[in-house]
A and B are shown apart, each in its own frame.
Chain A
């Protein structure tokens, strides 16, 4: 039995297998290390300003818009497409939301802002349907379709009010943007953290049980426990940092910002979508070999259209956060966001050749990008210089990806 012949090697394999099932491969590990190095470096360079609760809170809020859209971009890129229109779609849906809220629906009505959100999400989904239909059923390359979308929806965003900015938004609606009142407070933050930890533990137990049911080798307890501990520590640490930032001139802790909460929901939802649903499986299979998927009798066009619809829907979510945060609708919202979103997905390990990518990676990519950007702002580096650095990081990340893929068997 090889199991007894070389226990050390098997143990190593099991540990890496355990890591792999938690979606942490070498690439992901390298990214986490990169993020930590960036954080520590920036903290040293800014004399400790970077690690203040205030900066981390802002970093989390700023990452959420790009993070949300990057999770959708992962699906798009995994099935060998690209979506260049996300920034314009954000601008257009955001303008429609703001216009409806301020100029169409009665001001102050309780149903006003929830309905505008629904309209915005529906519009995002419809735009996705439109673009997905051209790509999937009419065979227009996604690059062209969404390049056209980039122009069209930016124009549409302008036309909603002929370029005028719409403001102010509903008071309750502004909470979604993560402003002064846009967080859930200390108590709720801890309640959510407790729920998340409970879910992690239950999930780990369930996995062990189902492994046993099918007679598979249990994952090593030690590895699983240490992963669980790291997860719990991260959750607690995150909540503590968010609670350490007070509302202005008070001692009231802010807690988790609402946009970050939305992002967490999106990340969990999208992770489940890719891991446990047929749809997610097919998206990855399309990226691996579209012909094989077609020969398996799967309606490849339907899946592709759905992917673009999910992307559009997430643009709608991002538009809600952006307008709530700005407390206005401006037609330039989301300009060049497509580049940040694609860069976040790619830095997060999504392969442009398709078939590879994780939601968690995209989130990490978004946080890395935002950390660099806001860290450099703290250092007083000019915006031109910041663009230069972030461009260079993108090249480095893809170069790492290429080198990593070459080394594998």
Chain B
């Protein structure tokens, strides 16, 4: 059940390549609430960067600055070393940044192809919607993700949680994302579907896609990510290689904002 072609050898992210994404000193305020206070974070090709923190730590806001949903007030975003300005989701898509939102962001009354291609429809030569071409493409990508998923032309509101998630994931990977932001991708899923998401992450990683994985589930992040960054009260506590830290140490960072004693910063 290979979703994407698997390269022969798995490439370890190495720091001599330029980072795919650099977010430098990002600030975001909502009125008096300083939701993100100068966080800096980066992402290499083929890497999974876990982002951990309590509810309200600023994980989602930081990622929404990258996806264009909530443009940041201050700070710099670089894609492949070049400074860019991301002020809308359209900008982010232009740079190959795709997002799977925690809420999935699906229009409930449309079918799966309608959602998959929302904003990027396939048109006919006459400038009309090419529904059949979209259905055809959607079927290809969705059936590879979830072979049991046949009723893709039903309204999304009539689908199961796993199917809805498949639609959201299909939308993010169909357009050859270079950077994928996954906000709690397994929060609504059963064990089997969670395994599917893990496998997908592994495959995308091998393809050189960089993935930001937001989660409050420590185990998920430890299983899947190469590095973890911890946010607390809008500040970045630190970023460590997953293999250099224990779960307890990361928990200490999340809860108390305390760096590990035998510290090996990235």
Partner-B contacts on A (CB < 8 A)? 210-211, 213-216, 275-278, 281-282, 284-289, 291-298, 355-356, 408-409
Please determine whether B129 and A287 come into contact, CB atoms closer than 8 angstroms.
no
Inter-chain CA distance A278–B89, complex, in Å, is: 18
Please determine whether A288 and B103 come into contact, CB atoms closer than 8 angstroms.
no
* Residues of chain A contacted by B114 (CB below 8 angstroms): 281, 285
Inter-chain CA distance A287–B157, complex, in Å, is: 13
Please determine whether A298 and B119 come into contact, CB atoms closer than 8 angstroms.
yes
Interface string of B121-162 (1 = CB under 8 A from A): 101000011001101100000000000000000000010000
Please determine whether B105 and A292 come into contact, CB atoms closer than 8 angstroms.
yes
Please determine whether B101 and A295 come into contact, CB atoms closer than 8 angstroms.
yes
Closest to B124 in A: A276
- Beyond the given A289-B107, A293-B107, A408-B158, please list 12 additional residue pairs across the A-B interface where CB-CB is below 8 A: A210-B132, A214-B133, A214-B135, A215-B136, A277-B129, A278-B121, A288-B106, A288-B107, A288-B109, A291-B103, A296-B105, A298-B119
Among A211, A293, A297, A298, max chain B CB count under 10 A is at: A297
Please determine whether B121 and A295 come into contact, CB atoms closer than 8 angstroms.
no
Nearest 8 pairs between A and B by C-beta?
A: A297-B90, A288-B107, A296-B119, A288-B109, A276-B128, A355-B109, A292-B105, A285-B107
Please determine whether A298 and B118 come into contact, CB atoms closer than 8 angstroms.
yes
* Residues of chain B contacted by A282 (CB below 8 angstroms): 118
Inter-chain CA distance A35–B207, complex, in Å, is: 59
* Residues of chain B contacted by A216 (CB below 8 angstroms): 132, 135-136
* Residues of chain B contacted by A289 (CB below 8 angstroms): 105-108
Inter-chain CA distance A292–B69, complex, in Å, is: 10
> Which of A281, A284, A409 is within 8 Å of B121, CB to CB?
A281
Q: Is B166 an interface residue (CB 8 A)?
A: no
CB distance from A274 to the nearest CB of B (A): 10
CB distance from B16 to the nearest CB of A (A): 34
Q: Is B110 an interface residue (CB 8 A)?
A: yes
Closest to A207 in B: B132
Q: List 26 A-B contacts (CB under 8 A).
A: A211-B132, A214-B135, A216-B132, A216-B135, A216-B136, A278-B123, A281-B114, A281-B118, A281-B129, A285-B107, A285-B109, A285-B114, A285-B118, A287-B109, A288-B109, A289-B108, A291-B103, A293-B107, A293-B119, A295-B67, A295-B89, A296-B89, A296-B118, A297-B90, A297-B119, A298-B119
* Residues of chain B contacted by A286 (CB below 8 angstroms): 107
User: How many chain-B residues does the 8 Å CB contact rule pick out?
Assistant: 31
Please determine whether B99 and A295 come into contact, CB atoms closer than 8 angstroms.
yes
Inter-chain CA distance A400–B171, complex, in Å, is: 36
CB distance from A26 to the nearest CB of B (A): 14
CB distance from B121 to the nearest CB of A (A): 6
Inter-chain CA distance A287–B107, complex, in Å, is: 8
* Residues of chain A contacted by B109 (CB below 8 angstroms): 284-285, 287-288, 355-356
Q: Main secondary structure on chain A at its contact with chain B?
A: helix
Please determine whether A288 and B132 come into contact, CB atoms closer than 8 angstroms.
no
Q: Is B88 an interface residue (CB 8 A)?
A: yes
Inter-chain CA distance A295–B115, complex, in Å, is: 12
Q: Is B78 an interface residue (CB 8 A)?
A: no
* Residues of chain A contacted by B92 (CB below 8 angstroms): 297
Closest to A357 in B: B109
* Residues of chain B contacted by A297 (CB below 8 angstroms): 68, 88-90, 92-93, 119
Inter-chain CA distance A356–B129, complex, in Å, is: 19
CB distance from A192 to the nearest CB of B (A): 23
Inter-chain CA distance A400–B220, complex, in Å, is: 46
CB distance from A409 to the nearest CB of B (A): 6
* Residues of chain B contacted by A210 (CB below 8 angstroms): 132
Inter-chain CA distance A211–B114, complex, in Å, is: 17
Please determine whether B121 and A288 come into contact, CB atoms closer than 8 angstroms.
no
> Which of A215, A277, A298, A355 is within 8 Å of B108, CB to CB?
A355
Inter-chain CA distance A408–B155, complex, in Å, is: 12
* Residues of chain B contacted by A284 (CB below 8 angstroms): 107, 109-110
Inter-chain CA distance A293–B88, complex, in Å, is: 12
* Residues of chain A contacted by B93 (CB below 8 angstroms): 297
* Residues of chain A contacted by B67 (CB below 8 angstroms): 295
CB distance from B108 to the nearest CB of A (A): 5
Please determine whether A292 and B129 come into contact, CB atoms closer than 8 angstroms.
no
Please determine whether A294 and B89 come into contact, CB atoms closer than 8 angstroms.
yes
Among B68, B105, B120, B121, max chain A CB count under 10 A is at: B105
Inter-chain CA distance A289–B167, complex, in Å, is: 15
CB distance from A213 to the nearest CB of B (A): 8
Please determine whether A288 and B119 come into contact, CB atoms closer than 8 angstroms.
no
Please determine whether A276 and B107 come into contact, CB atoms closer than 8 angstroms.
no
Please determine whether B135 and A292 come into contact, CB atoms closer than 8 angstroms.
no
Please determine whether A409 and B110 come into contact, CB atoms closer than 8 angstroms.
no
Please determine whether B110 and A288 come into contact, CB atoms closer than 8 angstroms.
yes
Closest to A78 in B: B109
CB distance from B113 to the nearest CB of A (A): 11
Inter-chain CA distance A234–B68, complex, in Å, is: 51
Interface string of B51-70 (1 = CB under 8 A from A): 00000000000000001110
> Which of B90, B103, B110, B120 is within 8 Å of A285, CB to CB?
B110
* Residues of chain B contacted by A213 (CB below 8 angstroms): 132
CB distance from A25 to the nearest CB of B (A): 11
Inter-chain CA distance A244–B121, complex, in Å, is: 47
CB distance from A280 to the nearest CB of B (A): 8
CB distance from A285 to the nearest CB of B (A): 4
Inter-chain CA distance A296–B101, complex, in Å, is: 11
Inter-chain CA distance A356–B69, complex, in Å, is: 26
Contacting residues of chain B (74-115) with chain A, CB-CB under 8 angstroms = 88-90, 92-93, 99, 101, 103, 105-110, 114-115
Contacting residues of chain B (234-257) with chain A, CB-CB under 8 angstroms = none
CB distance from B246 to the nearest CB of A (A): 36
* Residues of chain B contacted by A356 (CB below 8 angstroms): 109
* Residues of chain B contacted by A276 (CB below 8 angstroms): 128-129
* Residues of chain B contacted by A298 (CB below 8 angstroms): 118-119
CB distance from B93 to the nearest CB of A (A): 6
